[in-house]
Amino acid sequence: MGYELTDEQKDLKSMVANFMSKEVKPHLRAIDESGKFPIEIYKQAFEMGLHMLEIPEKFGGSGLDHQTVGILLEEMGYYDPGFAITILCSALALKCVLIGGTDEQKARVSNLIGEGGFGAFCLTEADAGSDAASLKTSYKEDKDGYIIDGSKCFVTNGEFADVYIVFATKDKKLGPKGISAFIVEKDRSGVMVGSHEDKMGLRLSNTCDVAFQEVHVPKENLLGEEGKGFKIAMAGLDEGRLHNACISTGICQAALDEAVKYAKERKTFGTPIINHQAIQMMLADMAINTEAARQLVRSGMYALDMDLPTTKIASMAKTFCADSAVKVTTDAVQVLGGYGYSKDYPVEKMMRDAKIFQIFEGTNQIQRMVIARELAK
């Protein structure tokens, strides 16, 4: 299978690189230190349609194929994974509506997000992370809709979201079959946003708790049928895990490039350190992991384009690419030595950013369980 980029893919990649290098990269150090959400930068990205890349044209998106989307996400991750995750989570919220929603819901939410609104995916809870089916947020019917009550944590875009996709259970005894998904607009009474998480990495993204205290939503805000919410969430996450793998691959490439650049310039014992075998072995392993990650991601994106099963390949890609990002960035810090540990050089931030990819959207330990379960079928 060949992976030569088409002219369109090259043009789109160049467009993303130009935006990231001019509008995002100059502000990374300041935002990383302050943690301030750069909403104006995101508004520019939304105007370019970067949050609607794979959304069908009839819903206001670019309608790009998954392979092309993966290339562009890798490019965003190369410059800043926190930026890429923010873009992705708005798309994930809309994607859930496109997976399980009615035509009216699809039009309503795609218009909201397409016009520059933020979306948020609300599944994780304090006691329901990897075991998402054990969530406690509940809902009950009333005469003209539903009442949602509970709290979600680690919600990306939580503070700035215009619409939340909230997963709640009608009866915990039913497990996954009791979970439904709802569209919840930010201005509904009872929606309460908690404080911003002061994170180790992904400092360009906003993460916080969101509470839903007796929030009333009309019947037309139920996504699909009652009891289908868990399937909607898992379908969204299969694709989301491949997207995260794309971003992880971008982190790998950025760290590798920085390490190679430094190794060519830094001299010890009268020669650039890239000529020392110990450094060569590290750089070679970094390059192997980076390219292997890229090929695994592209295999997964191909499966999406061909409408093939993706559960196993998504978990494989998410796991390998995240593990590779952590290893490659750690090795990059080592290659740069003391400078690698300094914030004057970019690789320490890359290392901090990489770690979360082993944790969110299902830890890598959970992904290995998913892979083993698929193998046993």
73 and 59 together in one domain: yes
Distance CA 308, CA 302 (A): 8
Query: pTM for this one?
Result: 0.94
Which of 111, 101, 104 is CA-nearest to residue 182? 101
Q: Domain count of the chain?
A: 3
Cβ(102)–Cβ(132) below 8 Å: no
Burial of 218 (0-12, 13-18, 19+ CB in 10 A): exposed
Taking the C-alpha atoms of 252, 18, 43 and 349 in order, what is their torsion angle to the nearest 10 degrees? 30
Point out the domain boundary residue: 227, 247, 267.
Answer: 227
CATH number, residue 106 = 1.10.540.10
Domain holding 266, by residue range, is 231-375
One of 54, 74, 348, 361 is an active-site residue; which one?
361
287 and 328 together in one domain: yes
27 and 140 together in one domain: no
Q: Answer yes or no: is 1 within a domain.
A: no
169 and 133 together in one domain: yes
Say whether 361 is catalytic: yes
Q: Answer yes or no: is 332 within a domain.
A: yes
145 and 27 together in one domain: no
Point out the domain boundary residue: 114, 140, 161.
Answer: 114
Written as tens digits, the pLDDT of the chain (377 aa) is 457 899 999 999 999 999 999 999 999 999 999 989 999 999 999 999 999 999 999 999 999 999 999 999 999 999 999 999 999 999 999 999 999 999 999 999 999 999 999 999 999 999 887 788 889 999 999 989 999 999 999 999 999 999 999 999 999 889 899 999 999 999 999 999 998 899 999 999 999 999 999 999 999 999 989 999 999 999 888 899 999 999 999 999 999 999 999 999 999 999 999 999 999 999 999 999 999 999 999 999 999 999 999 999 999 999 999 999 999 999 999 999 999 999 999 999 999 999 999 999 889 999 999 999 999 98
CATH number, residue 324 = 1.20.140.10
Sorted by sequence, the CB contacts under 8 Å of residue 34 that are 6+ apart come out as none
202 and 178 together in one domain: yes
Which of 160, 205, 209 is CA-nearest to residue 186? 160
Distance CA 310, CA 319 (A): 14
138 and 159 together in one domain: yes
